[in-house]
Amino acid sequence: MTTVNDAKVALDVPAPRLLSWPRLWLRLGNGAAAGIVLLWLFPVYWIVLTSFKPTVEINSAIPSFVFTPTLENYRDLFAQFEFSGVLLNSIVVTVVTCIVVVGLGVMAAYALARLKVPGEKHIALWILSLRFLPPIAVAIPFYIQWQDLNLLDTYIGLILVYVAFNLPFAIWLLRGFLADVPAELEEAALLDGLSRLQILWRVVVPVILPGLASTSIFIFVFTWNEYLMALMLTSVNAVTVPVTISKFVMPYTILWGDLSAAVVIQLVPMLAVVYLLQRHIVRGMTLGAVK
Amino acid sequence: MALAFEGIQKVYPNGFRAVNNLDLEVKDGEFFTLLGPSGCGKTTTLRMIAGLEMPTAGRVFIGGRDFTQTHPRDRDVAMVFQSYALYPHMTVRENLVLNLKVRRVAADEIERRLQEVSRMLGIDRLLDSKPARLSGGQRQRVALGRALIRRPNIFLMDEPLSNLDLKLRERTRTELKSLHERLRVTTVYVTHDQAEALVLSNRIGIMNAGDLLQVGTPQEIYDRPSSIFVAKFVGTPSINLLAVTVRPEDQTLILRQREADWDLAGVTLPADDGVAARVRQTGGQAVLGVRPEAVALSHEAATGAIPAVVEIIEPMGSVNHVVLRFDGPGQATIDDEPFVVVMRSNEPLEQATRVWVTLRPDRLVLFDHQSGKALAGLSPKREWCCI
Amino acid sequence: MQVQRMATGAAAGGWQRRERWVVLLLLGPSMLYLFAMSVYPTVHSLWLSVQNYTLYRPDMASFAGFDNFVELLDKEVFTQSFIVTILFSAFAVTLEFAIGLAVAVLLDRKMAGIGLLRTLLIVPVLISPVGMGLTFRYILAPTYGLLTYLLQSIGIPTADWMASTTWALPAVILVDVWQWTPFVTLILLSGMQSVSVEVTEAAELDGLTERQKLWHIVMPLIRPVAIVVVLIRLIDSIRVFDMIFVLTRGGPGTSTEVLSVYSYVTGFTEGDMGSAAALAWVTVVFVNILVFFFLRALSRAEGS
């Protein structure tokens, strides 16, 4: 039997320090989380740093974090290697591919989404299988055929191939976005007096604009970074950035300075693009399996 | 503009019959409601008027002309969708005038109509907002405005009030009714809410499982339902259904119960009448439909009154819903539903007290107990008429 | 994902039939284009695989039947390449999944700036494999590479990783893991976040620890997503070309010569296009078999 006094004393005992452990772990966890992500990106940081180093520092046995930054690598890139031309090639090819793929893709995806096409499941599966094709399998025939058609080392040759590669994926993605547009919206437009094409252009496309944007971003990234096809189908005139980067690896020496500058330049548009992409990345990357 | 359906059928490729052989006429300027439970085919029928669905068989006439094969945009029909279907990327103004712009209406005419409609619906302050920023009620008005601004021949509405909360629903209901009084445009309205249908319509068409069961004014449907289904669907609380037998000697109705039968005094079938003949055809068994307000309760026994006990009293404000339990095992009603009576709340009644039930002749309906079809109804003047 | 259809009618007459044509017109160009651009190379490539076709003397091509395929099975280089590919895929994907899952669990939290951290995870994926490969080549270089310097300063012996037949494969696996683990993390993370909060709260009330919650509740629920991401990574790692080609060219010797690189070398360096095509087809078949098994596992994991 406790007296009132005993009870009061009992209340004065501080609560067990279980609370501090979870909090400590959480704070450790937060720091660890941030640390891991930032640490993981170290190679990126390193290559950016390298691009501003003078050659002497780059090739020295002791890597340095402190040095006098210089733009000589970038200047050399443009002066010695006509990088501006290469950059232009990449930009033209990528932008044109994007536009063509999204344009054709949204029309095809709309038709597939709204119209009952016979053998639709087969078409969908076929389109999906194209995504899993090793590029080398089709690279060889394209090389041979493009040789015959004189399309090697041209914008058109490369664009034709890139469009073919990206179109299936774009149709797949866009179909997913289109499925989210409620049918009643289009029915209202029908009753309002719009024709099918007007509906597509004035009602559907504005509504799926975010979907169009994220699809084109995927295409942009893929085409901008593509290597194998560009390697095989271009040589001097239409050569793109990735291929040029690999050319800095020469038989007896590697021009790390120019190389790192080129890698950084290639990376910059991608970073800008990610800023816009964020929310829709996952959906595209898992082929719509996760929203 | 008048509207007519001739032999309309809608069968889906998987075999599902959405609409069976519908013949319907909607008069010019009429407010006609298609009423029925979910999946009964009322929305499908509405969409066939718009041309959004094509009938498998039959024809659609608008203003006397066959419009079955015509494109929705050429039918001069406007529709308010259940989800409103406003264009999310356009402002309210753009939403409202798109259909006029597409039809190349002159700019000053567009402006005139825009002002007229937006003021009438009270959305003139919202013209530059986008749908995402509007409340449900406001969006509904914009959807309405989009349909109104076209001055169509026919107005279609697919459960436009179902997304609104109760107070707003009742208010908008009244506004819709006054709008119709003012504009007199032929309107076809779809809902599963029988209160809405009763309030708004000139005539109602009850549908179930693809069939049009009965067409009539709200009062007709209520007083003389053509079947048990219709009687049960319209009216709150639900109509009470009693199993009855006709006593051959004096044509009185007897309330059947497991152990005792009660004489329904004062309810006698006329001897030589079509009504009696029909009832005889069913073997003398029938179902009597008693509306909750067609019952009188007294605290004293009377001849022909049936004893019962007050089981539950549900106060509803100005009236009480009283659930009665008749003596004897089981329920008196045919489907074990409670027997509900509506009483004014200032009449004293207590739970678990004995009362005596007398049936008033208004709104009594006799149904065939097998087919559910109505046989006859008893009018307040104590006259039977076939239904 | 419910696809809304244009209204149909058995009568399907009138305006809907007329509109079908318009809609088909939208589909036409794409389908024709894709058909031409995929069927043609497929057929051509199949034809090549049964030919004796050399790059330098195309006029001397002759029919070779299944010789190319049979020869492949004989060649030690082929078996070697196949093994290298399997080793590469197996290790890379396993590591990517294990590490990716661990990081996902770590990042599945509310924290200031978590959005930024997750966005940063995309960066490795965005860099072209070429750029990435060469970056790592720089870091792993024997004389001036950062890693070499770090290891030496703590006394661990180093070697010229890229030139060593033992270390070249682990090195390229490292690069692949670096580039793609964040991708796996992102996908798994989004799967985790689609697990409804109420489910995890119910688990907490039931008394489960964090570890138990992860094992019994979260993992089973993200199984479909996990299978998808493993499938994608598996297939992509079998098809890998860019990064390896630019890092080691398949060397030294054939220690990193995965199937795609082997195919390229056969076709463009040795000029034997026929065998290269045959090889490419073997890879395609291999990939498709994998896809089939995984899709079956996926549909089983998602239930009926």
CA distance C302 to C290: 18
pLDDT at A10: 44
A65, part of any domain: no
A20, part of any domain: no
Interface pTM, i.e. ipTM: 0.80
Helix (H, G, I), strand (E, B) or coil at C210: helix
| Chain A neighbors (3+ CB pairs < 8 Å) | B, C
Give chain C's radius of gyration (CA, Å): 25
User: Percentage of residues in chain C with pLDDT exceeding 70?
Assistant: 92
pLDDT-derived band at B254 (thresholds 50, 70, 90) equals low
A179, part of any domain: yes
pLDDT tens-digit profile of B52-83? 888 999 999 998 899 988 888 888 899 999 88
Question: What value does the mean pLDDT take over residues B356-377?
Answer: 82
C166, part of any domain: no
CA distance C13 to C68: 55
Q: What is the dihedral of CA C73, C75, C78, C79, to 10 degrees?
A: 70
Please calculate the CA angle C291-C295-C297 and round it to the nearest 5 degrees: 120
Res C269 pLDDT > 50: yes
Count how many domains chain C has: 1
B240-386: CATH number: 2.40.50.140
Residues of chain A with pLDDT under 50: 1-23, 25-26, 290-291
Output b/e per residue, B62-94; b: 16+ Cβ within 10 A.
Answer: beeeebbbbbbbebbbbbbbbbbbbbebbbbbe
CB within 8 A of B343, min separation 6: which ones? B297, B319, B320, B322, B349
Give how far A133 is from chain C: nearest CA, Å: 6
- Decide if C10 and B72 are in contact by the 8 Å CB cutoff: no
Q: Answer left, alpha or beta for residue B368, where phi above 0 means left and psi between -120 and 50 means alpha.
A: beta
Q: What is the dihedral of CA C26, C30, C35, C41, to 10 degrees?
A: 170
pLDDT at B305: 78
More confident residue, C228 or C100: C100
Going by C-alpha positions, the residue among A21, B192, A119 that lies closest to residue C209 is A21
For the segment(s) B3-226, the CATH number from 3.40.50.300, 3.30.565.10, 3.30.420.40, 3.20.20.70 is: 3.40.50.300
Residue C232 contacts residue C183 (beta carbons within 8 Å): no
A141 touches chain B (CB under 8 A): no
C206, part of any domain: yes
pLDDT-derived band at C1 (thresholds 50, 70, 90) equals very low
A146 touches chain C (CB under 8 A): no
CB pairs under 8 A between A and B: 55
C4 touches chain B (CB under 8 A): no
Count how many domains chain A has: 1
Going by C-alpha positions, the residue among C244, C250, C225 that lies closest to residue C301 is C225
Res C162 pLDDT > 90: no
C5 touches chain B (CB under 8 A): no
Going by C-alpha positions, the residue among C48, C81, C42, C72 that lies closest to residue C261 is C81
pLDDT at A286: 56
Weakest-pLDDT range from A68-77, A270-279, B304-313, B317-326: A270-279
Question: For residue B142, with 0-12 CB atoms within 10 Å meaning exposed, 13-18 middle and 19 or more buried, which class applies?
Answer: buried
More confident residue, B278 or C4: B278
Give how far C17 is from chain B: nearest CA, Å: 10
pLDDT at A102: 93
DSSP-assigned beta bridge partners for residue B365: B289, B377
pLDDT-derived band at B48 (thresholds 50, 70, 90) equals very high
pLDDT at A28: 60
Domain with A237, as residue range(s), is 72-285
pTM: 0.78
B102 touches chain A (CB under 8 A): yes
pLDDT at A284: 57
pLDDT-derived band at B325 (thresholds 50, 70, 90) equals confident
Domain with C256, as residue range(s), is 68-125+171-301
More confident residue, C30 or A104: A104
Q: Where are the domains of chain B?
A: 3-226, 240-386
Q: C23 to each of A116, A127, A179, A189, C150, how far by Cα in Å?
A: 10, 19, 16, 16, 63
Question: What value does the mean pLDDT take over residues B106-117?
Answer: 93
Helix (H, G, I), strand (E, B) or coil at C267: helix
Res C3 pLDDT > 70: no
Number of CB atoms found within 10 A of residue C114's CB: 17
Question: For residue C80, with 0-12 CB atoms within 10 Å meaning exposed, 13-18 middle and 19 or more buried, which class applies?
Answer: middle
pLDDT at C304: 41
Give how far B88 is from chain A: nearest CA, Å: 7
Residue with token string 């009062």 = B219
CA distance B281 to B278: 5
pLDDT tens-digit profile of B126-172? 999 999 999 988 999 999 999 999 889 999 999 999 888 898 899 89
pLDDT tens-digit profile of C211-227? 777 777 788 888 888 88
User: What does pLDDT average to over chain B?
Assistant: 86
For residue C296, which phi and psi values (nearest 5 degrees)? -65, -45
User: Percentage of residues in chain A with pLDDT exceeding 70?
Assistant: 84
Q: What is the dihedral of CA A219, C243, C53, C287, to 10 degrees?
A: -70
Helix (H, G, I), strand (E, B) or coil at B60: strand
pLDDT at B111: 93
Question: What value does the mean pLDDT take over residues C47-54?
Answer: 79
Residue C133 contacts residue C179 (beta carbons within 8 Å): no
A9, part of any domain: no
Instruction: Report the chain A residue with the minimal C-alpha distance to residue C238.
Output: A134
CATH code of A191's domain: 1.10.3720.10
C163, part of any domain: no
The per-residue DSSP string of C103-115 comes to HHHHH-S--TTHH
pLDDT tens-digit profile of B238-247? 999 888 877 7
pLDDT at A189: 92
pLDDT at C257: 87
CB within 8 A of A78, min separation 6: which ones? A84
pLDDT-derived band at B46 (thresholds 50, 70, 90) equals very high
CA distance A47 to A245: 13
A208, part of any domain: yes
CB pairs under 8 A between B and C: 33
Tokens of A198: 């007007």
A19, part of any domain: no
Weakest-pLDDT range from B88-102, B306-320, C216-230: C216-230
CATH code of C212's domain: 1.10.3720.10
